[in-house]
Amino acid sequence: MICTRCGAANEGGYRFCAECGAPLPQGDATVTGGVPGPVPAAPGAAVPPVPGPSGASVPPRPAVPMPGAPVPAPTGQSSPANPADAAATTTLPPVAPAGPGGALPGGGDGGSGDGGAQAVAKKNRLPLILAIVVAALVVVGGIVAFLTYRSEVWGGKTLPDPASVATSVTDAKGKKKSSVVKAKDVTEALKAKGLKTKTVQVFSGSDKGVFLGYSGAKQGDRVDAGSTVTVQESAGPGVPKDTVGKNVNKVVDLFAQMGVPVHYKQVVISSDSKTPEGQVSTTYPAPGVGLTDDEMENGIYIGVASKGDGIPVDVMGMDKDKAVSELESQGYDVDLEPHYSSKQYVGKISGSYPAPGSSLESGDSVTLYYGVDKSSTMDLLTQTTGSGDYEMDVTRHNATPMIGMYCKSEVKDASKDCITLEEAEGPYGDSEGGGFLQIKGHEPSNDFDTLGLNNFSQGVDGVMVSTKGAGSMSASDLPMANHLLLGKTGAFELYAGMGLPNCGDTVMTGAMLEYCQSGTYGKVSDMDDFPSGGNSGETFNMKDFLVYAPVGTDVKSLEDAGYFDSKALESAKKQKAVDTSRPFIVMRDPSLYNETKVSADGTSYLKNPFVPTNDKGTNHLVGMKPAPSDSTVYYLVEQNGDLDWDSLPDAKVKQTSTKQDSSDDSGKSSKMDKTLAEAMKAGAAEYGMGSGAGAWGASLTISEDGTFKGSYYDTDMGDMGDDHPNGSRSESNYTGRFKSAKKNSDGTYTLQCDASAFKVDGEIGTSRIEDGMQVTTVKPAGMDPCGEFTLYPKGYDTAQLSDDQLMFSGGLGSTVANSSELPGPALYNTESSDMEYTFFDLGN
C-alpha cells in the first residue's frame, strides 16, 4: 500500500504509514482493535493543547490530514492562502493506543495529544528495520561466504598452480638455468591443504622428478577436502607398459617426446604368424622400464614385427616340441633348456638365446627356454652322485633356470629397481648348467662371494639334501636341514659367502697358511712363519642374499613359519599382495638392519646369523627383511629386449614434426645424438688407405651428418685371359652411415656402423669386362665388416697406434707415421681381424 503523503510502500493491513505516520487509505472507517478511526470535526475546530506532566500546555502537533487533504505547513511557517482549500480542511486529534489501565502517557486521558501517533509510527517501522537488518546480514553473510570459500574454509580445496612451487635449477657452473616444478614440492603443497596424495611415474623427456600434471584434473580445479590427488611425476625417458601390441605408428609421437634417440628396428615373425606386421613386438628397455643414465646416449629401441628368417617373436608361448621342430626345419641347431617362467609359459617356450625376434642364418645355434615351476626345483637344483651304498642326493649349482632380468612392479630407476642374474664362475670352477650366479653390477672380488645354494663344507655331508647314503643320520641332522630348498614351500635361497667369515674384505676359506690378525689378512709360504696366537678380527658379514620363489611357491606357509622379520611382515601385509603367478625374488636389504657385521672370533661357522645353518637343530639366521609384497619383490622380466639391436635392419615408420632417430627411406637418420654429432664433426674428412706398395688403395669420405661413401681397388696386371688381356681389377664402391658413437676416456670415439644402411654397388662376386680388363665386385677392404670402428681425433698420440696401423698411412716412412701426433683424424676398423685396417686423413 502506497502512502499518499510520503510515497513510502507499506505492507497490507497497515493503517498508518510506517515511514511518516500518516493514515493510509482504507476501504471504510470501521474501528478495529480498540483504535478509533478518523472522526469528523467541525470546520475550523481548533485542537486543544495537551496538558504536560507539570500541567503546562504543550503546543499542539499539526493535524494529520485526511486522505486527499492538503498537507498543512509546518508551525511557524506560512504558505500561500487558498480560501477554497481552507474551507475544506478538517483537523483530527492524534490517536494513540491506551497505556496500562487505559491511561495515556503524561497523565492524559487519551482525548487529545500526539503521543499515540508516534508510538504507532515506531511500532510500524519495526518490520522495515528488521528487513533492513536481515538484508544487511545477508549481504555480510554473502561477503563472508565468498571470502571463506576463496580461502578454502569450506567448499573443497583448489589444486595449486605449479608455478607457485617452482624451484630454481642451476647448471654445472652454479648459474641459474631455469625454474622447474618438482613433483615432491607439489605433493607437499597439497598436503599443506589437508589433501592426500598419490604419486605415479610417467615416462617423458623431462628430467626425473619433474611435475607433469594431475591425473584427471588440472590446476585451479576444486576437490573435496581430504580427498586423494594423483600427481604425475616424470620418470625420465623409458617405455610405457602398454607399448607392446600397438601399431608402431601409434606410438611414434609419444616416443618423439622422450628426448633421446629412438631406433625402430625390424624383428622377425614367422611367415604364418597371427601377429600383424607393423606391430610393436619387443622393446629395449622392457615395457615399464626406464633408461639408466649410461643408456641415454644410445636411447630406446622399438622392435617392429616383420616377416623374415630367424627366431620369431611369436615363439613365446609356443609348444616346445613344435618350436624345436620348426626351427630345426629351417636349418638351425636347436638346444632346449628349462627356465623358471610365469604361469602362462609353464611347459611352453618362455624365451630364447639369441632373443626372440633375432635374425639368423642357416646353421646358427639357438637355445630355446621352456617354462617350469616349483615342481621342477629338485630336478634342476639337485643331483644324485655315487653308487650303491654311497649313492646320495646333493645340491647342483645350476644357474640356467634363474638367469635373466628381474624388476620391481613399478620401476622408477632401472639401476635401482631392477637386477640381472648372470652366470658366474664359483670357487670350484664352472659346472654343468652354468654353475654359480652373480648380480650384474655386484661382481665379487672373491669366487666364494658368488651366489650359491649351500654353505662351505669339506665333506659331502654339507651339501646333502636327503638321508640317502647318510647312514644313521636323520633328516633333521643334515647340515642343510634349515635351508628352504629342503622345505615344502617351493622357495630356495641364493646367497654369497658360503657362510664363511671375513678378514677385512677377504673371505677366510680355512686354507693352509692363511691367517687373520686384528682384521688384517695374510698368508705365509712356510708354517715356521705363521704368527702365533691364533686368528683375531674375523667377522661374519651380511652379503647378497636372495629368496627365489618360482610359480607355485607357498608364500603363506613361508610367512607363517616365521622366516620373515615380524615387523617387516606386518608392514608387507598392509601393502598389495605379491603376484604368485610370476617368479620373483626377495632380496635382503642391509639398510633395514641395525647390525650387518658381527665378530666371528672364537666361534663356529654355525653361529653365522646371516646364512641358514643347523647348529644342533638351531638356525641362527636373522629374520628376512623385507617381507614379500608387490612393491618389495623383483619379478622376472621374460621379454627384456635383449637383442643385438645394432645388427637389425631399420623399420619404416611415419615421421613426426618432432625430430627423432628413425630411418627414412634414404637410410639417413632424422636425428643425431649429441655424441655422434660431436664425433662426426671431428671425423668429417677425406681419407685414404694404402701401404705404399702394390697397385691397391682405398678412399673414404665422411660427412658431418654421419654418412660416408668410398671406394676400394686392387689391380693385378698379370692376371690376364683371352677376354681380358689387360689384366684384372677388384673394386668396390659403397655408401653407408654411422649410427652411434661413444666417447672414450682417451679422447677417441667408438663408432657403430649401420649394417642395414651399408650398400655396395653391384652384386659381390660378379665380374664384367671393361676395356680389356676383368673387373670383379668385391667387399671393400677397410670398411668390411660394417661393425665397430675407432675414430682417433686430430692430435692423438701416434705412439698409441701399432706399426700395422701406421703402415696404412702410406708406409712407415710416411709423414703421419713419423709424426708424434696425428695431423688429422684416423679411422680404425676394430673388426678387421689381424689386418688392422686404418684410414688416414688425406689432407695431412
**Residue that wins the pLDDT comparison between 414 and 708:** 708
702/788 same-domain check: yes
* Per-residue pLDDT reduced to its tens digit, 462-518: 999 999 887 788 999 999 999 999 999 999 999 999 999 999 999 998 888 899 999
How does DSSP classify residue 230? E
Region 778-783: mean pLDDT is: 92
349/455 same-domain check: no
pLDDT at position 158, please? 80
Predicted confidence band at 656 (pLDDT cuts at 50, 70, 90)? low
Q: Which residues contact 41 (CB under 8 A, 6 or more apart)?
A: 90, 91, 92
pLDDT at 364 over 80: yes
Residue 174 lies in a domain: yes
pLDDT at 73 over 50: no
What one-character-per-residue DSSP string does 26-48 give?
A: -S----BTTB-------TTPPPP
Q: How far apart are CA 663 and CA 660, in angstroms?
A: 9
pLDDT at position 83, please? 38
* Per-residue pLDDT reduced to its tens digit, 561-584: 999 999 999 999 999 999 999 999
467/558 same-domain check: yes
Q: How far apart are CA 595 and CA 586, in angstroms?
A: 19
pLDDT at position 692, please? 65
Region 596-605: mean pLDDT is: 94
Under 8 Å between Cβ of 783 and 710: yes
Degrees to nearest 5, angle at CA 639 with 638 and 641: 145
How does DSSP classify residue 16? B
Q: How far apart are CA 814 and CA 810, in angstroms?
A: 6
Q: How far apart are CA 400 and CA 338, in angstroms?
A: 8
Q: Is the dihedral of CA 595, 600, 604, 605 positive or negative?
A: positive
Of 182-196, 215-229, 716-730, the least confident = 215-229
Residue 108 lies in a domain: yes
754 φψ region: left (φ > 0), alpha (ψ -120 to 50), beta (else): beta
599/468 same-domain check: yes
Predicted confidence band at 89 (pLDDT cuts at 50, 70, 90)? very low
132/13 same-domain check: yes
Under 8 Å between Cβ of 264 and 304: yes
Q: How far apart are CA 733 and CA 299, in angstroms?
A: 31
Region 736-763: mean pLDDT is: 89
Q: How far apart are CA 619 and CA 614, in angstroms?
A: 5
Q: How far apart are CA 295 and CA 289, in angstroms?
A: 12
Q: Which three cell numbers stand for residue 748?
A: 677417441
Residue entry with cell 659381390: 764
30/135 same-domain check: yes
Predicted confidence band at 612 (pLDDT cuts at 50, 70, 90)? very high
* Per-residue pLDDT reduced to its tens digit, 11-62: 666 666 766 666 777 654 443 334 344 444 444 444 444 444 444 444 444 4
836 φψ region: left (φ > 0), alpha (ψ -120 to 50), beta (else): left
630/643 same-domain check: no
Of 52-56, 412-416, 648-652, 775-779, the least confident = 52-56
How does DSSP classify residue 70? P
- Specify the CATH number for the domain of residue 184: 3.30.10.20
Q: How far apart are CA 834 and CA 699, in angstroms?
A: 20
pLDDT at position 1, please? 66
Residue 354 lies in a domain: yes
**Residue that wins the pLDDT comparison between 239 and 177:** 239
> φ, ψ for residue 636 (rounded to 5)?
-65, 130
Q: How far apart are CA 829 and CA 412, in angstroms?
A: 39
pLDDT at position 67, please? 41
pLDDT at position 98, please? 42
pLDDT at 79 over 50: no
pLDDT at 169 over 80: no
pLDDT at position 632, please? 98
Number of domains in the chain: 5
Q: How far apart are CA 513 and CA 398, in angstroms?
A: 32
What single letter denotes the amino acid at residue 328? E
Predicted confidence band at 690 (pLDDT cuts at 50, 70, 90)? confident
Cα–Cα nearest to 479, from 608, 312, 363, 634: 608
Q: How far apart are CA 261 and CA 207, in angstroms?
A: 16
Alpha helices in 39-87 (DSSP H): 83-87
Predicted confidence band at 320 (pLDDT cuts at 50, 70, 90)? very high
Under 8 Å between Cβ of 266 and 302: no
> φ, ψ for residue 614 (rounded to 5)?
-135, 90
pLDDT at 82 over 70: no
pLDDT at position 503, please? 96
Of 241-255, 610-624, 686-700, the least confident = 686-700
Is residue 307 within a helix (H) or strand (E), and if so which, with residue range?
A: strand 300-307
**Residue that wins the pLDDT comparison between 799 and 666:** 799
Strand ranges (DSSP E) for 580-684?
584-587, 597-599, 634-637
Cα–Cα nearest to 160, from 226, 231, 235, 236: 231
Share of the chain above pLDDT 70, in %: 79
Degrees to nearest 5, angle at CA 296 with 291 and 302: 65
Where a domain ends, among 127, 151, 175? 151
pLDDT at 64 over 60: no
pLDDT at position 112, please? 45
Q: Which long-range contacts (CB under 8 A, 24 or more apart) does 461-469 make?
A: 463/394, 463/395, 464/392, 464/393, 464/394, 465/378, 465/382, 465/393, 465/394, 465/395, 466/392, 466/393, 468/384, 468/391, 468/392, 468/393, 469/386, 469/389, 469/390, 469/391, 469/392
Predicted confidence band at 290 (pLDDT cuts at 50, 70, 90)? very high
* Per-residue pLDDT reduced to its tens digit, 510-544: 888 899 999 999 999 888 888 888 899 999 999 99
How does DSSP classify residue 628? P
Q: Which residues contact 145 (CB under 8 A, 6 or more apart)?
A: none
Under 8 Å between Cβ of 257 and 205: yes
Q: Which three cell numbers stand for residue 708?
A: 660416408
684/807 same-domain check: yes
> φ, ψ for residue 71 (rounded to 5)?
-80, 125
735/629 same-domain check: no
184/208 same-domain check: yes
Q: Which residues contact 432 (CB under 8 A, 6 or more apart)?
A: 396, 398
Q: Which three cell numbers stand for residue 545?
A: 642374499
Cα–Cα nearest to 363, from 309, 430, 290: 309
pLDDT at 314 over 80: yes
Q: How far apart are CA 334 and CA 159, in angstroms?
A: 59
Residue 102 lies in a domain: yes
pLDDT at position 59, please? 46
Strand ranges (DSSP E) for 504-618?
506-507, 514-517, 520-523, 539-541, 545-549, 584-587, 597-599
**Residue that wins the pLDDT comparison between 634 and 102:** 634
Q: How far apart are CA 14 and CA 26, in angstroms?
A: 9
211/83 same-domain check: no
pLDDT at position 814, please? 84
Residue 653 lies in a domain: no
Tell me how far CA of residue 792 lies from CA of 349, 508, 818, 840, 841, in angstroms.
Answer: 45, 46, 16, 9, 11
Residue 402 lies in a domain: no
pLDDT at position 745, please? 85
**Residue that wins the pLDDT comparison between 103 and 277:** 277
Is residue 566 within a helix (H) or strand (E), and if so which, with residue range?
A: helix 566-573
Tell me how far CA of residue 78 lies from CA of 74, 81, 82, 202, 614, in angstroms.
Answer: 8, 8, 12, 91, 127
Region 703-731: mean pLDDT is: 89
Q: Which three cell numbers stand for residue 126?
A: 519495526
Cα–Cα nearest to 523, from 506, 539, 540: 506
Where a domain ends, among 131, 151, 171? 151
Report the chain's mean pLDDT, rounded to a whole number. Answer: 82
Length of the chain: 844
Q: Which residues contact 109 (CB under 8 A, 6 or more apart)?
A: 103
* Residue-number span of the structural domain to which 39 is assigned: 1-49+57-151
pLDDT at position 257, please? 87
Degrees to nearest 5, angle at CA 294 with 291 and 300: 40
* Per-residue pLDDT reduced to its tens digit, 257-274: 888 999 999 999 988 888
Where a domain ends, among 616, 637, 658? 637
pLDDT at position 404, please? 93
Residue 519 lies in a domain: no
Under 8 Å between Cβ of 726 and 771: yes
Predicted confidence band at 746 (pLDDT cuts at 50, 70, 90)? confident
pLDDT at position 550, please? 98
457/597 same-domain check: yes
What one-character-per-residue DSSP string does 785-815 give?
A: S-SEEEEEPTT-BGGGS-HHHHHTBTSTTST
Residue 557 lies in a domain: yes
* Per-residue pLDDT reduced to its tens digit, 423-438: 998 887 654 445 899 9
pLDDT at position 348, please? 96
Predicted confidence band at 840 (pLDDT cuts at 50, 70, 90)? very high
